[in-house]
């Protein structure tokens, strides 16, 4: 089954986190596929950490046929170190309540979005889905990663006991237009873009970056991620988690050099080795996604970076004119 034969016109989809970075792209993509209705609960109206709010959401949408759970409390290394309790509680409670009451309200399908942070710190590269239980996650993001991993366990348990159709996807680090550039919580790509563009504008001689630059990461363009989620929602109905990635690995040092070139920053890249590196390597085995629902990423890394930089530049111009 694929998006060509799956009838999105009959689907009424609740997308939690639909106003977020990934959510906005997914909602746009679902609209392009012809989804009959897309409900995006706003956090000011529904605190998804509270049972009453989740119940009310489902009561108000009795014809929902699918829940895609994107909502999450997330951030970069600094935010993870500062708020481990918050990241654990928020993500655990949202996932647990949304899935439990989706089952109780007989919503036919639940698509849980996990995280590459659920993998053990020292996972053989490329990460295979069956490796996810072979150790403890990297310490700085373990509370977040474990909370998301429990959603996977819950999905599998509900399928085993209740026959409930819940699936779990494991996307790698995302980037692209609309990303979070807040210096307190941004992930590595938007953080580097902001720092280097600010330094260039101010004629600063250097920027300071976390760690020593040796770790590697895999990144997936956000519009590719939206395509993958839609394909899985349409075609995948099994208990095993599925990696969602690009299968492209790059060191943080090379990433910084690439961004510097693209934004035209010619100053020094200084590394603050008092800050943590995070997980040593990240690269996914993405063969299951291709086999099960035909997904392969289609945006090259450099093209995706260019699009992200263009978007951020336009936002800065808009802000300067207000």
Express each pLDDT in 277-297 by its tens digit.
888 899 999 999 999 999 999
Indicate whether 155 belongs to any domain: yes
Indicate whether 195 belongs to any domain: no
Indicate whether 93 belongs to any domain: yes
Indicate whether 197 belongs to any domain: no
* Largest Cα span, the chain: 61
Q: Which two tokens stand for residue 294?
A: 């035909």
Look at residue 133 in the predicted model and tell me its pLDDT: 97
Residue of 65, 64, 17 lying closest to 42 (CA atoms): 17
**By residue range, what is the domain housing residue 113?**
8-179+217-249+280-300
What Å distances lie between residue 227 and 3, 56, 75, CA to CA? 10, 29, 23
Look at residue 3 in the predicted model and tell me its pLDDT: 45
Look at residue 70 in the predicted model and tell me its pLDDT: 98
Quote the number of domains for the chain: 1
Indicate whether 75 belongs to any domain: yes
Whole-model pTM? 0.93
What are the residue numbers of the active site? 144
Per-residue model confidence as pLDDT tens for the chain (322 residues): 344 479 999 999 999 999 999 999 999 999 999 999 999 999 999 999 999 999 999 999 999 999 999 999 988 778 888 999 999 999 999 999 999 999 999 999 999 999 999 999 999 999 999 999 999 999 999 999 999 999 999 999 999 999 999 999 999 999 999 999 999 888 899 999 999 999 999 999 999 999 999 999 999 999 999 999 999 999 999 999 999 999 999 999 999 999 999 999 999 999 999 998 888 899 999 999 999 999 999 999 999 999 999 999 999 888 777 7
Three-state secondary-structure class, residue 165: coil
CATH code (residue 296): 3.40.50.720
Indicate whether 189 belongs to any domain: no
Spell out the residues 6+ positions from residue 300 whose beta carbon is closer than 8 angstroms to its own. Answer: none
Alpha-carbon dihedral angle through residues 245, 173, 147, 98, given to the nearest 10 degrees? -70
Alpha-carbon dihedral angle through residues 292, 138, 145, 133, given to the nearest 10 degrees? 50
Indicate whether 52 belongs to any domain: yes
Look at residue 74 in the predicted model and tell me its pLDDT: 85
Indicate whether 226 belongs to any domain: yes
């Amino acid at each position: 089954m694929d998006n060509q034969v799956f009838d999105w016109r009959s689907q009424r989809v609740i997308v939690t986190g639909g106003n977020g970075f990934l959510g906005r792209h997914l909602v746009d993509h679902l609209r392009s596929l012809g989804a009959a209705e897309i409900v995006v609960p706003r956090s000011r109206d529904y605190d998804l950490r509270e049972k009453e709010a989740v119940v009310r959401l489902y009561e108000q949408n009795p014809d929902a046929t699918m829940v895609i759970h994107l909502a999450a409390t997330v951030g970069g290394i600094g935010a993870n170190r500062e708020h481990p309790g918050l990241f654990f509680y928020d993500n655990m409670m949202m996932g647990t309540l949304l899935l439990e009451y989706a089952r109780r309200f007989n919503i036919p399908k639940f698509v849980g979005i996990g995280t590459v942070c659920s993998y053990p710190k020292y996972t053989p590269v490329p990460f295979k889905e069956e490796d996810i239980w072979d150790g403890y996650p990297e310490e700085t993001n373990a509370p977040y990663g474990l909370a998301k991993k429990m959603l996977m366990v819950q999905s599998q348990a509900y399928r085993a006991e209740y026959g409930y159709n819940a699936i779990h996807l494991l996307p790698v680090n995302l980037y692209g237009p609309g990303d979070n550039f807040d210096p307190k919580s941004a992930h590595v790509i938007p953080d580097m873009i902001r720092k280097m563009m600010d330094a260039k504008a101010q004629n600063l001689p250097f920027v300071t970056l976390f760690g020593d630059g040796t770790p590697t990461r895999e990144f997936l363009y956000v519009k590719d991620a939206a395509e993958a989620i839609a394909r899985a929602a349409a075609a995948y109905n099994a208990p095993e988690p599925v990696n969602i990635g690009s299968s492209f690995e790059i060191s943080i040092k090379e990433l910084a050099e690439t961004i510097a070139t693209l934004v035209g920053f010619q100053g020094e890249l200084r590394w603050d080795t008092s800050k943590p590196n995070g997980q040593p390597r990240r690269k996914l085995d993405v063969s299951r996604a291709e086999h099960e629902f035909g997904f392969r990423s289609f945006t090259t890394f450099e093209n995706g970076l260019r699009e992200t930089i263009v978007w951020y530049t336009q936002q800065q111009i808009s802000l300067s004119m207000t």
